[in-house]
Amino acid sequence: QTLLFSATMSSDIASITKKYMNDPIEISATRMNTVAENVKHLYYMVHAKDRYEVLKRIADINPKVYGIVFCRTRRETKEVANKLMQDGYNADALHVDLSQAQRDEVMGRFRKRQLQLLVATDVAARGLDVTDLTHIINYNLPDDPEIYIHRSGRTGRAGKSGTSIAIIHTRET
């Protein structure tokens, strides 16, 4: 018997089941494409060149922010985290170029709330078990709606409320 567990059933995961499993059956704990009811969803429509400035304003108007900023690429993750740190924000990056020891150190600081903002890609943020996040900030929207649902579901857990913010540039309308 082969079992596959996944927090989201993206098309990539579904193709794996078709390739390696015989007559797979999908069992879902919740309806597909549902968002947590205790998560407030906001978006800010901006010009692409203003995206970083909007991210800083979000941090400024939420001084107790404790969240993850999702970027599309590891290069962008590094750039955004470095800019935030240079501008005096309590942030760091989590990406696949870090060694396991470096990842553990960053995650340890984030879990202890020594960091307010963790800037990461979806790949780097897989399997992170962090509680009490106040915000998820989508610096870029993901291509797959399931990934957006998975990202936003990292806040508002255990009966608490949270906010998922998408920074959208005008070409993404």
Residues 95-104 have pLDDT tens digits of 888 888 998 9
Task: Report whether pLDDT(127) > 90.
Answer: no
What CA–CA distance (Å, rounded) separates 91 from 109?
10
Residues 46-60 have pLDDT tens digits of 998 999 999 999 999
Three-class secondary structure of residue 109 per DSSP: helix
Residues 23-45 have pLDDT tens digits of 888 877 655 555 567 899 999 99
Three-class secondary structure of residue 67 per DSSP: strand
Question: Going edge to edge, which strands form the sheet with 67-70?
Answer: 39-46, 162-169, 135-138, 67-70, 117-120, 91-94
Rounded percentage of the chain residues whose pLDDT exceeds 90:
48
Alpha-helical segments (H) within 21-161: 51-61, 74-86, 100-111, 122-125, 145-152
What CA–CA distance (Å, rounded) separates 89 from 77?
15
pTM: 0.78
